[in-house]
Structure 1
Amino acid sequence: MKWAALLFACLCFLNSYAECKWKHYEKRGENRENWRETANEMPTKHYPRQDPPDHTKLIPMARYVLHNADWVSLATISILPAIEGFPFSNVKSVVDGSLANSTGVPYFYMSPLDFSARDLTKNNRATVMVSLEETRYCENHKMDPEDPRCTRLMLSGKMKKLKEATPEYTFAKAALFERHPAMADFPPDHDWFVAKLKIAQIAMIDWFGGAKYIPVRDYLAYNYTGTEMLQYHNRHIQRALFP
């Protein structure tokens, strides 16, 4: 009975402590999720980005979706013996420029050891697919990723390896390392290189009524800085420095 009473008292104390902590954070204008984060639990809060353009603005929407993506699905033609000639999809980290300077061109940091890079040595044709769901916009608006209103952008073209020491190479590599800092610690013996997709066709699903096709020249010429990504990352930094 003594052990049972002691256990009951401990449980009551822990429950009271948790309630006090929760009220303490409420008084500071914070919620229970903040307390959980400080307790080293997995953070579940997603910091919202600026909302995307209206769906009728095709080019701004296309540029927004790519610039706000951290990764894409990259489809190539496989050279693996068991599935040679089959389409093969892989996840690749991506940028289309620096946080404050969007170009609309997908850039990649690749190794010859990777599935995609090996495929591209034989056939450099590829398709990049990216979804608006990466920003959590669709989830927050109760839309399934396959919902036509959850924009999907598909860029098809030929992959090109950039020459080192060129202005474009320097710009693209700096942008990749800015958005993906872990790349600086990738194994140095993997012969990393920077590649870009030279776009031949742009298809997009962003509303009911089927796919829309965007002229590549108009897409690339559109003056879009993508400053919402810079603001988004600045909020993350401020959150880390001033929790």
Structure 2
Amino acid sequence: MDTIFTIFIVLALGLYGECKWQNDEQFHHYQNSRRSTANHMPLYQDKTTTIPDPPDHNKLIPMARYVLHNTDWASIATISVLPAIKGFPFSNVKSIVDGSLANSTGIPYFYMSPMDFTARDLAKNSRATVMVSLEETNYCEKKGIDPEDPRCTRLILSGKMRKVRDNTTEYTFAKAALFERHPAFANFPPDHNWFVAKLKIAQIAMIDWFGGAKYLSVRDYLAYNYTGLEMLQHAQSQAPVTHMT
């Protein structure tokens, strides 16, 4: 009986070891896959890395364009259609770009599905407010500035959301920029009827120093020639080094 019990234990341990080895192998394959994907993500995977500091706070339009271009996500407020809070403000987080890494437009672009809270609200009422913060870079943290401190710039864009027409030059540009900045989009479920949307800006408010909000001219903001090359340079500096053999 002891011999049979011993054989059973050995077989059980062997089976466990084999299963564990297979699971570990799958886990490591998954981890390596995730690391490979992460290597292609250009933004702030490591907050100890940095980009050039923002413009002087007195340079309002350069600061506004800098903050939008160098942030990865936005808080977006809409008017809710959910039955329990119909007509209430409702806030959500959306990934954002204002163009490619090397070509800032100042226009917020989004990748949306009609299944999302925000898209459902916008289908009924296209008005929205988008907010981005300098806190999303490592500048405020590096300087020991709280996110609510007015020196940690907040850019607040209000307007109406518009769907970008498929197969147009703008659609091709915006979608490529979204996928460049957010490569995970390529793995999103294809049956969710994704579309590209943009905010047609009506008002620009910004908190970037003491003394209250500043209001910027939309025309001057969009006309400002800002390429955002510091974003591209940062991405290139974080790219993995390939050694020739």
Q: What TM-score, normalized to structure 2?
A: 0.79
Which residue does the alignment assign to 1:203?
A: 205
What pairs up with 1:182-221 in 2 under 5 angstroms? 182-221=184-223
4+ residue runs over 2 A deviation: 43-46
Q: 1:45–1:152: structure 2 CA closer, same or farther, 3 Å change rule?
A: closer
The alpha carbon displacement at 1:44 in A equals: 5.7
* Residue ranges of structure 1 left out of the alignment (5+ in a row): 1-42
Which digits, 9 at most, give the CA deviation of each residue in 1:91-117, with x for residues without a partner?
000000000000000000000000000
The alpha carbon displacement at 1:45 in A equals: 5.0
Q: Does 1:67 align with 2:69?
A: yes
Secondary structure in structure 1 of the residue aligned to 2:94: strand
Secondary structure in structure 1 of the residue aligned to 2:239: helix
Q: Percent identity?
A: 76
Q: 1:109 aligns with which of 108, 111, 130?
A: 111
What pairs up with 1:46-61 in 2 under 5 angstroms? 46-61=48-63
2:206 and 2:132 mapped to 1: Cα distance?
10
Q: What TM-score, normalized to structure 1?
A: 0.80
Q: 1:44–1:222: structure 2 CA closer, same or farther, 3 Å change rule?
A: closer
Letter in structure 1 aligned against 2:150: P
2:106 and 2:234 mapped to 1: Cα distance?
19
1:44 and 1:174 mapped to 2: Cα distance?
24
Q: 1:45–1:92: structure 2 CA closer, same or farther, 3 Å change rule?
A: closer
Which residue does the alignment assign to 1:146?
A: 148
* Residue ranges of structure 2 left out of the alignment (5+ in a row): 1-44
Which residue does the alignment assign to 1:88?
A: 90
Secondary structure in structure 2 of the residue aligned to 1:54: coil
Which residue does the alignment assign to 1:163?
A: 165
The alpha carbon displacement at 1:46 in A equals: 2.5
The alpha carbon displacement at 1:232 in A equals: 1.1
2:86 and 2:63 mapped to 1: Cα distance?
35
The alpha carbon displacement at 1:213 in A equals: 0.2
Secondary structure in structure 2 of the residue aligned to 1:74: strand
